[in-house]
Structure 1
C-alpha cells in the first residue's frame, strides 16, 4: 500500500510538466486516471523515434518520451469537447480527490470543467492548473514552452560557456528543466493541499506557472544578483564562488573536480604532485583562488591532462578530494552505485513484453514509491474504469464508444 493509495487523481495533462507531477503521485500509490483524446492521446506518444520495440525489434506505438512520464497510470480516452464526454469527466470528478490540468488559461471553463464548476460537484476538490505564465499577469494568455521559459526566466543567461571563450553563449539545459521542476513543485503543492484538506476538509486551487518555477529555482544565483545589484554571467562548467570547481579534460576523457574548502585544495595539490600551489598566497584560500582563477585554472588543467580519467579518480578518491567522471547514459546505468540503488526498473508490457524505465529516487521505509504498472496503452483502461469507478453498464459504455465519445 503506497502512501497515497487512498487518493484518486484525474490527470487531464499532457506533454511533461503535468504528467511528471501525476507520475510522482502514482509512484506513491495514487490511482491516477490519465484522460486522453480518443484516437490520438498524449502528444508525446508520437514524439519519436526512438520508440519502444516489440520482441521482433519492430517499433510499437509508444515513444520513449511518453514512457518517461506515464508509468503507474490508467489511460481512459474521453472526448472532453463533447457534452457526453464532459458528463463522464464530471462523474469521475465526483469520485476523485485531485484534478490536474495544463490547458490554456480559460479553455476548460467553456467545457464546464474549470475549478469553480467542478468544486460545485466536489467541494473538497484539489485542482491544480499548470501553464507557462500562470492564471494572472500580462502574459497569462501566452503559450509557454520550456525552451522559451529557460530563456525568459534567466536560466540561459547563467548557463553556457563565457562569451570570450570558444563556444561561448547562452545554452539551454539538456532536458526540459522548467517543465520537470514545475512538475516537482506541483507535486509538492498537491501534497500540501492534501494535508490541509485532511486537517480541515477544505479543497483548494493551485496555480502553477513554468516561469514562476524557473525564476524560483535559480536559488543562490538569484540572491547573488539581488545582493550585488549585478546580473551574474555564464561560467560554463566553472563556479562563480568556488575555485577549482569545474570540469577538466584528462588524457582520455573528462573529470569533475569539486574542491569545496582550503583543506581539500591542499590535498589536491599534494595528490597532483604540485604542493607548491597550496602554499602560493594567491591560491591558499578560496577568496584568493576566485580572484586569481585565470592564473590557477590553466595550471590545474595542464596537470590533469597528463593522466587518465580512471587514474585521477582513483588518486583523488584516495586523497579525499571530491571528484567524479562525466558519464554517458549507458555508463550511468552500468555504474555500480546506480545498479545497487535499483534505479532501473523493468516492467511487463503488453506489446513489447518488457519496458525499461527509471524508478522513483524517493526511498521511504514504510511506504516506498514503486513502479508497478507499465505506461498505459492508449485507452487501455477506459472500460474497466467506467465500470469499476462509475458503475456504467455495458450498454452505456457501448453507446459512448459507438458515438466516438470514448
Structure 2
C-alpha cells in the first residue's frame, strides 16, 4: 500500500534532530527524502557518541539510534554547498523537489545561496520550510538554539516541572524531547502546505520554531498567565493525589513501583475504587460520602489511598485496577515503553534492518493511515546515495569523477 506522501520529493539541508525528524516522518509517510550532508563531516550529529551521560552508539555496528530515529528512510548525498562546483547539482535537485527543508541560520543560508529567494528563483513552486530556535523574525532570528534552550527552558516546560524549593532545574526526560515534537509539527505544516498548493496552486514558506512549539505545549499555563496579567501563583501540591481529587496522582506500590491515577470525576469512581480495594466503609464515611465532601477532604482521602497502595505489590495492583472503569496507567521506564503491548499491537515499535543486515527496532511516528503501520528502512550511511542520486540527474561516471576530484561531492 502506498503512503500518502508517495511522489513527493523533499530536499533536506539540515542536521541534528529537530528538522531532520520532520524528514523522517515524511519518509515514513512515503516521501522521497534526499538528505544533503556536509561533503567531509556529514551531519554533525554523526559525531556525537555520548549524550545525557549515555553512550549513543553501538559497538562494532553502524546502527546509531541517535541518527536512525530522525533519519530513517532517507537517501544521503555528500555535497559541498560552499564549493561553487557543487552548485549545478544543488540547483537541479531543487528544480526536481516539492519541498526544501532546512534549519541553517540566516547567515549561512545567505552565504550558501539557499535562502528563500535563491531557491524560489530555481523552483517557484517549491515549498520552503525553515526550522529555527526562536522564529524567523524578532530579536533572536539569527540566534541558534537547541530544544534544551529554546523549547525546554525558554518555552516554559523547565519551570513547569521544577519544584519551587529545588536546587537545580529539572532536565528534559529524554534526549531530543522537544526536537521530536517539533519535527512532527513541521511535518504537519508541510502536509498542510502541500494540500494548499494542490488545491490553489499557491506555494508557501513554512516556519516552525522550537520556542513556538515549547509555548504551544505549555499553553494551558501560558494562557492562564495571560488572562491573569501576571505570573501564576505557586500552588502547593499535596504529597499524594491532586488538589480536590484523591484519585488523580501517582501512588507508590509496596515494591517501589508507581501507578498514575487520573480519574477526573472522583465522585463517580470513588465507590468503585473503594469496593475494589475492600474498603467499602470509605464510601459511607461522612468525610467522603458525596463528591463535595470528598473534594473538601481530598488530602485525607489521598493519604488513605496512599496507605492502601503501599500494602500491595505492583503485580497485585495491576490485577485490581484492571477490573476498574476509571483511568490509570503504570509509570514505565524507557525499556518498558519499548515493550508496551499497545504500542506493539499498533505497529508503533517497528522492525528495521541495519546496514549489516541485523534486525533492529525503532519507535515509529505516531500517525498511521488506514490502520497500516509504516514500513521503516534504516537511516543512510554518510553520502551513501550520492552516486545514485546524481545519476538520476543525468550525470555520467566521467562527470561524477570530475565533481569528486573538485571536492564538490562525496
Q: TM-score, normalised by structure 1?
A: 0.89
Distance 1:282 1:64 in 2: 53
Structure 2 spans left out of the alignment, 5+ residues: none
In structure 1, the partner of 2:113 is 112
| Equivalent residue number for residue 402 of structure 1 | 405
Counterpart of 2:93? 92
Unpaired runs of at least 5, structure 1 = none
Q: Structure 2 CA distance, aligned partners of 1:242 and 1:124?
A: 54
Q: Is the Cα–Cα contact under 8 Å of residues 242 and 286 in structure 1 kept in the other structure?
A: no
The 1:338/1:301 distance shift into structure 2, 3 A limit, reads same
Alignment partner, residue 312 of structure 2: 307
Q: 2:258 aligns with which of 254, 273, 291?
A: 254
Q: Shift of the alpha carbon at 1:265?
A: 2.5
Residue 352 (structure 2) pairs with residue 347 (structure 1): yes
Change (3 A) 1:69 1:290: farther
TM-score, length-scaled by structure 2: 0.88
Distance 1:177 1:325 in 2: 21
**How far does the alpha carbon of each residue in 1:356-391 deviate from its partner, in whole angstroms, 9 at most, with x for none?**
22223322118x452342111111101000111x11
Q: How has the CA–CA distance of structure 1 residues 318 and 179 changed in structure 2, closer, same or farther, with 3 Å as cutoff?
A: same
For residue 128 of structure 1, report the CA deviation from its aligned partner: 0.6
Report the Cα offset of residue 280 of structure 1.
5.1
Inter-partner Cα distance in structure 2 for 1:147 and 1:285: 45
The yes-or-no answer on 1:387 pairing with 2:387 is: no
CA 1:332–1:385: 2 relative to 1, 3 Å: same
2:329 equivalent to 1:324: yes
- Pairing 1:180–2:184 present: no
| Superposed displacement of residue 17, structure 1 | 1.1
Q: How many residue pairs get matched?
A: 397
Structure 2 counterpart SS, 1:76:
strand
Q: 1:350 to 1:239 in 2, by over 3 A?
A: same
Q: Are the equivalent residues in 1 in contact too, given 2:10–2:23 (CA < 8 A)?
A: yes
- Whether 2:199 is the aligned partner of 1:199: answer yes
Following superposition, the deviation at residue 228 of structure 1 comes to 4.5
Q: Closer, same or farther in 2 for the Cα pair 1:169/1:110, shift >3 Å?
A: closer
Q: Which deviates more from structure 2 when the two are superposed, residues 287-296 or residues 26-35?
A: 287-296
Q: Is the 8 A contact 1:258 1:323 kept in 2?
A: yes
Decide whether the 8 Å contact of 1:238 with 1:247 is kept in 2.
yes
Aligned to 1:158: 160
Show the 5 A alignment for 1:1-400: 1-49=2-50, 50=55, 53=58, 58-149=59-150, 150-160=152-162, 162-163=163-164, 170-175=169-174, 176-229=176-229, 230-231=231-232, 233=234, 243-252=246-255, 253-261=257-265, 262-279=267-284, 283=288, 292-351=297-356, 353-365=358-370, 368=372, 370-388=374-392, 390-400=393-403
What is the CA–CA distance in structure 2 between the aligned matches of 1:239 and 1:397, rounded to whole Å?
A: 65
- Distance in 1 of aligned mates of 2:290 and 2:263: 11
DSSP 3-state at the match of 1:371: coil
Alpha carbons of structure 1 residues 82 and 100: separation in structure 2 relative to 1, 3 Å: same
Deviations 1:190-248 (A, max 9, x none): 11110111112221111211111111122333333344455264869965685432211
